[in-house]
Amino acid sequence: MLKPAARPPAIRIRWRIFSLLFGFGFLAYLQQKSITVTAAPMMPELGLSHFQISMIEWAFVLGYGLFQLPGGIFGQRLGARRTFVIIGIAAFLATVATPLAPYWLTGAGLFGALLLLQLLLGCSQAAIFPVSAGMFEVWFPPRWWASVQGLQTMGLGLGAAFTPPLIASLMSVMGWQRALLWASLPAVVLIAIWAWYGRNSPREHPSVSAEELAEIGGQNIATVDAHISSRQLLNILTNRNVLLLGISYLCMNYSFYLLSNWVFLYLVEERKFSVLESGWLASTPPLAAAVGAGAGGVITGWLVLRFGNRWGYRLMPLVAMPLAGALLLISVDAANPYWAVAGLACCFAAVELNEGAYWGAAMMVGRGETMAVSGVMNTGGNLGGIVGIPIIGYLAGEHLWRTAFVIGAGFAVASAVAWLGISVDHPADQMSAGTAVGK
């Protein structure tokens, strides 16, 4: 008597891997954004100015931006499994040391230590999303790339949305230092689960069935190039599509950092909400951004199937980014503060609608070099923060919030215009991926 064929798991292994990468993105933003919420009590207690707080945040963005490409190359060479363990531990240590530093240091020494810790946090987290993109390339078929990128970005938005009320609530009970300590502990659990269950590719995972391999692409599954050469890297760095993706992402991310890093302080100082109320209200824009990111990835995936790669990836940024610029201007001029919060939420959703398009396009252009290509693009993206955060910090200190928002609107339009020159149909590294097709 024949035995019935074994049923494939109800939840495919690739979605379990995705859930862990989703978790890394969620906790990364919890770690990143906590200090923006604790800025209000930190400034008087530690004797820090607006500009110093902006420089502490800027140190994170500097490390994060500068290590995008090295982080992507590191991930390609070492493999995602070991990479996430190493960078996860480093980020945890930097997060825990931040609230402990004031117990031993004061004045300039404390300010320098906080700068260095945020720099370390940025460097350690830089590889998360380039390496995740490379994982999605090998764990999912191309038709899913924009969707899973959008869904992972939803995790970032949920982390950013969850952080203000969580940290504000914890601060009201135990102070900002203990709030940061307790919020850092879930990362330990996630790192341990990943070290046990994560794998670099479907073929390496003992639980992936032949049916799932066929669903992903079987023998056509992309192979991550673990031996990226200087010639390949030069091809990537000089590729027009890669550079335009980086420039466009830079422009988009001025608006992103304005909305993600400064909304809480804007609501406290300019709109005169209380700290606790601002904590809850400040979660509204990133929550809307999370929904926008997930929806944008799914919509972009449909647009690609309907219109092909070139226009399928272009259409969302060409529509959503000018809309985001208009919403910035509407929000800052709104007379009613609650309407301003609603406008900022819609604006952040419009910005994040584009994440699936950006990262999916980077994967199409990368083709085996996705971690490096994504690192280049996200380097450009984080230059938006490196350039923008000191500008916004200065303007906030001078109460020139409207000027900061007007600049953001201009960058939003510029990010859309750059997409007119981007074609995802040709791989960045023609030497190693010249036989790959873009459709």
* Whether residue 2 has pLDDT greater than 80: no
Candidates 290, 139, 281; CA nearest to 213 is 139
Q: Is residue 401 part of a domain?
A: yes
Predicted confidence at residue 1, as pLDDT, reads 41
Tell me what percent of the residues of the chain surpass a pLDDT of 90. Answer: 53
Question: Is 342 part of any domain?
Answer: yes
Q: Which tens digits make up the pLDDT trace of 149-165?
A: 999 988 877 877 788 78
pLDDT tens-digit series, residues 387-436: 887 888 788 777 788 888 899 899 999 999 999 999 988 676 554 433 33
- Examine residue 73 and state whether it is found in any structural domain, yes or no: yes
CA distances (Å), 171 to each of 121, 208, 263, in order? 22, 44, 18
In the chain, what percentage of residues exceed pLDDT 70?
Answer: 88
Least confident range from 14-23, 230-239, 351-360: namely 230-239
| Higher-confidence position of 280 and 363 | 363
Average pLDDT, the chain: 86
Residue 209 lies in a domain: no
Distances (CA, A) of 231 to 152, 227, 236, 242: 31, 11, 9, 16
Among 104-108, 160-164, 257-261, the range of highest mean pLDDT: 104-108
- pLDDT attached to residue 438: 32
Give the model's pLDDT for residue 46.
Answer: 92
Q: What is the mean pLDDT of residues 171-199?
A: 94
CATH number at residue 91: 1.20.1250.20
Confidence of residue 333 (pLDDT cuts 50, 70, 90): confident
Residue 185 lies in a domain: yes
pLDDT tens digits along 113-139: 999 999 999 999 999 999 999 999 999
Q: What is the pLDDT of residue 275?
A: 54
pLDDT for the residue 178: 93
In a domain, 213, yes or no: no
pLDDT at 332: 79
Determine the average pLDDT of the residues in 24-44. 87
- pLDDT above 70 (res 66): yes
pLDDT value for 432: 42
Q: Are 131 and 271 in contact (CB under 8 A)?
A: no
Q: Domain of 111?
A: 13-200+223-433
Query: Phi/psi at 148 (nearest 5 deg)?
Result: -70, -30
Counting the structural domains of the chain, the total is: 1
Q: What is the token pair recorded at 141?
A: 């078929």
Report if residue 6 sits inside a domain. no
In this prediction, residue 274 has a pLDDT band, given cuts at 50, 70 and 90, of: low
pLDDT at 366 over 60: yes
Residue 216 placed within a domain: no
pLDDT average, residue stretch 225-229: 72
What does pTM read for this prediction? Answer: 0.84
